[in-house]
Structure 1
Amino acid sequence: MSLPTTTKIDAAVLRKVSDGANEIVRGLDAVNQTGRDCWIIYLALEKLDADTRRRWIERSMDKDSPTLDDFFKFLDDRCEELELSKGELVTVGKAATQGDKPKRKALNDTLFIRPSIQRDLFVVCLRFRMYKFVFSADIVKMFRQIWVSSKHRDFQRIIWREDPSEQIKHFQLCTVTYGTSCAPFLAVRVLEQLASDHRHEFPNAAKILLEDFYVDDVLTGANKLGKWVSNTNSITEDPDSSTQLTQSSPVKVLGLYWHPGKDTLTYNVGLSANPSCTKRQVLSDVSRIFDPLGLMAPVVVQFKILFQRLWLLNLDWDDPLLNKLADDWLKWRADLDTLQQFQLPRLVVNDADNIELHGFSDASIKAYAAVVYSRVIHDDGSISVSIVAAKTRVAHSSNNLCHAWNFAEHFY
């Protein structure tokens, strides 16, 4: 059951949302599903217009845990109110529409969206594997630390009141606001400006700002450490800090799972239990596999091939898979659980004077792939080999293997 979405204040749509939510409740009750109230309220609120959401928040502020009965009563009261007096309101990010023509413009409709200047995620993750000593961190509340020019703050006006009995107050947001279309550009552009302004004073820090940041996350390190000196233990022992050194449990850095204690990379694919065998479910599962360096390429390519086959069969999103395809998919899906046992050394052993890069590529009528390994010969004669990165692509439906040659040339 899907719920309708509205950006307009419309009693008819609100009643459809209420009916749809009630149907979901009945379905969950049939399978004895408990703890559903907060989830259903959240799901339904996402579908409502901004003014209705605000009214619900104000109405539920004096209750610790509003129930579904409270929510459905609110929707009924709201519908009755709207049926007596109809109105419309534009949400912050989207403009209300009438037919194909926008009635009013929202802020995001008028902002200038610059091209993306954030770092290449592949490059940031790859460089993270090249340092012997590494750390990860993020800028706390990054957007809230960037001032917006005073002449532009009037475009970031919001209304608020602590209690429904109070008059609505108008406020200006003075910092970059999450949800505005230009926010990611402004955040990255500020880091670039800081690096430019202070590169002579802090050349190493400026280099890290320009190369090792992905928006507000930093993955960086060094191959040699000097004499570390500090006048405080709070660097590692601050109880109010989330700083963690060489811990045994993994931390998530830019989608990768890193074990600082073991210095290994692992994967955690959170798939739902008892899946439905449909094209929609296959795409949902594939999208959960985040692998920017292609280290899971032999596994991921199987799902890519399957998904291409589903497209060629012209199946609708919720059509059941053919028996053979469903069996293959469920088998591969079960194999994904074993990936949680897979561990790969984070460090790619490298030496500027003694490193060799070996690239391999291959192709079939179904897919083609390329992989790069590093090979380092140490002074004692020992050899270290590390996988650096890999890529796969599904072959074109024409089965033209010339695509594989072009792919390999591009990768190398």
Structure 2
Amino acid sequence: MYRSVLVNPNQRDLQLIVWRDEPSKPLAVYKLNTVTYGTASAPFLSVRCLKQLAAECSDLEVKRVINNDIYVDDLLTSSDDKVKLLKICKGTVDALKSGCFTLRKWVFNFEVREGAYPMSPNDNNIIDTFRNLNFGEHSQCRTLGLGWCNVSDDFNFNTQLQQATSNVTKRTILSSVSQIFDPLGLLSPSIIIGKVLLQRLWLLKLQWDDPLPADILRTWNRFVDSLSHLSSIKIPRHAFQCDGTRVELHIFTDASQTAYGACAYVRTVCDDRVVVKLLMSKGKVAPLKPVSIPRLELCGALLGAKLYDKDYYPLSPGHFLIGRPLTAPVCEDDLQHLPVHRLSRYQRVEQLRQQFWTRWASEYISELQIRAKWRENAELKPDTLVLIKDVALPPLKWQLGRVVRTIPGDDGIARVADIRTASGVIRRSYTKICPLVREE
């Protein structure tokens, strides 16, 4: 990839090398005309060229793929439609080829063959482009120890560590644990054992090349032996179901004196089944300084909130009444706009909760309101349970009631309704009425 990017002629004198094949020959000076691997500017220059090709591309989908789905020289993209995906890939090939970046070694999770998908005559060359580039029916694509089977569409792990009976030091353990590539935290329950072992070595104040105690060496050997079972773990790449009617994100956190962690599951409700799949997880070792279990649980809650920026807190009925758990202490301060580095762990979780409540009050509540825009008669049915919105009162004091009757206007469309509450019958406009149970 780097050799496809030319360097400005004014800067090529900074890339001079001296070389000779034999000591008896005179020294020769070579000038490198392209970006050189190993220089500090090489990644930026190559990626900047990709960004420029995306900026010059007229196809919005291809521009999105080049900007968001390329990591250095690897492309990973997807689509719900196979024909659309092939067209996107063909457009990406043409766009990058105009800048001398040739894409090859394509891997698809479906068979690419002529006549398999409905295409126009002008698009038949797309199949020819990728038919001979697909690695095969049972190909394995690996990147830094993370494997992907294109047929089953599963992730697998092929990390293998050599067990050493002697000369095991803190340096070798750190090097071995760092070899396990797990960007989504799918192996956190296994990797955390090695991290805890490293923490024990720090507590013993051993030097990098000091021999390890016998008990730690035995623990390390058992950990290396257990890694052989990682190859049997298969993680579905596609966590979402295409035919789902409702998708939920559930985040669980837990903590102990040794470590704490969080995991996120995607729960998809389909017409005839419910599918739950692991999305990501993250684990951390407990601090060296002794910390109470409640504080570690709070660390786990913060870690769970960070798994996804918009899913701030585990939902409970109290969130939909007052914006916080019913048993949680009230935080009087508004922390929404304070910088993160100025907050404690508790204040950070409270900040995320306040942001969630603000969005729920301003976005979700408005979705419950009927917005017919006066074009059709979308009357509230009698006895419908409603929440009467009042911006002057806190949510805990908003009134509940049931619709008694609706009052139509001169055009026959109802815009206000009478509602029976605990204090009597009141009349409110539809913009202040939020049905809690929407009947189909």
Give the Å deviation of 1:254: 5.4
Amino acid at match of 1:224: D
* Structure 2 counterpart of 1:214: 71
Distance 1:286 1:373, change over 3 A: same
Aligned pairs for 1:2-13 (under 5 A) are: none
Q: Does residue 195 in structure 1 map to residue 91 in structure 2? A: no
Q: Which has the higher contact order (CA 8 A, sep 6+)?
A: 1
Q: Does residue 257 in structure 1 map to residue 161 in structure 2? A: no
* Structure 1 counterpart of 2:192: 301
Partner of residue 204 from structure 1, selected from 52, 61, 65: 61
Q: Does residue 154 in structure 1 map to residue 13 in structure 2? A: yes
Give the Å deviation of 1:406: 2.9
Distance 1:192 1:370, change over 3 A: same
Distance 1:275 1:317, change over 3 A: farther
* Structure 1 counterpart of 2:164: 274
Give me the CA root mean square deviation: 2.3
Partner of residue 220 from structure 2, selected from 325, 329, 339: 329
Amino acid at match of 2:258: K
8 A contact 1:396–1:403 mirrored in 2: no
Give the Å deviation of 1:389: 0.5
Give the Å deviation of 1:304: 0.8
Aligned pairs for 1:79-228 (under 5 A) are: 142-161=1-20, 167-198=26-57, 201-226=58-83, 227=118
* Structure 1 counterpart of 2:306: 410
8 A contact 2:145–2:159 mirrored in 1: no
Give the Å deviation of 1:297: 0.7
Distance 1:166 1:329, change over 3 A: closer
Amino acid at match of 2:305: E
Partner of residue 387 from structure 1, selected from 260, 278, 282: 278
Q: In the aligned structure 2, how far is the partner of 1:396 from the partner of 1:278? A: 22
Give the Å deviation of 1:163: 6.2
8 A contact 1:275–1:281 mirrored in 2: no
Q: Does residue 359 in structure 1 map to residue 251 in structure 2? A: yes
Secondary structure of the equivalent of 1:231? helix
* Structure 1 counterpart of 2:422: none
* Structure 1 counterpart of 2:108: none
Provide TM-score, normalisation by structure 2.
0.56
* Structure 1 counterpart of 2:182: 291
* Structure 1 counterpart of 2:205: 314
Aligned pairs for 1:364-383 (under 5 A) are: 364-378=256-270, 380-383=271-274
**Which segments of 5 or more consecutive residues in structure 2 lack a partner in the other structure?**
84-117, 309-440
Q: In the aligned structure 1, how far is the partner of 2:210 from the partner of 2:80? A: 53
Amino acid at match of 2:142: K
Larger Rg, first or second structure (1 or 2): 2
* Deviation digits for residues 135-164 of structure 1 (CA, Å, limit 9, x no counterpart): xxxxxxx11111111211121123345666
Q: In the aligned structure 1, how far is the partner of 2:225 from the partner of 2:75? A: 34
Q: In the aligned structure 1, how far is the partner of 2:55 from the partner of 2:49? A: 10
* Structure 2 counterpart of 1:48: none
Q: In the aligned structure 2, how far is the partner of 1:289 from the partner of 1:305? A: 15
Distance 1:407 1:349, change over 3 A: closer
Secondary structure of the equivalent of 2:52? helix
The answer to which of 228-237 and 254-263 deviates more is 228-237
* Structure 1 counterpart of 2:134: 244
Distance 1:188 1:258, change over 3 A: same
Secondary structure of the equivalent of 1:221? coil
**Which segments of 5 or more consecutive residues in structure 1 lack a partner in the other structure?**
1-141
* Structure 1 counterpart of 2:129: 235
Secondary structure of the equivalent of 1:373? strand
Q: In the aligned structure 1, how far is the partner of 2:139 from the partner of 2:289? A: 47
Q: In the aligned structure 2, how far is the partner of 1:165 from the partner of 1:323? A: 55
Secondary structure of the equivalent of 1:222? coil
Secondary structure of the equivalent of 2:39? coil
Percent sequence identity is 37
Q: In the aligned structure 2, how far is the partner of 1:223 from the partner of 1:399? A: 50
Distance 1:254 1:281, change over 3 A: closer
8 A contact 2:162–2:224 mirrored in 1: no
8 A contact 2:163–2:224 mirrored in 1: no
Give the Å deviation of 1:314: 0.6
* Deviation digits for residues 344-379 of structure 1 (CA, Å, limit 9, x no counterpart): 21211245862111111111111110111111112x
* Deviation digits for residues 54-91 of structure 1 (CA, Å, limit 9, x no counterpart): xxxxxxxxxxxxxxxxxxxxxxxxxxxxxxxxxxxxxx
8 A contact 1:246–1:261 mirrored in 2: no
Distance 1:235 1:254, change over 3 A: farther
Distance 1:233 1:225, change over 3 A: closer
Q: In the aligned structure 1, how far is the partner of 2:183 from the partner of 2:307? A: 14
* Structure 2 counterpart of 1:115: none
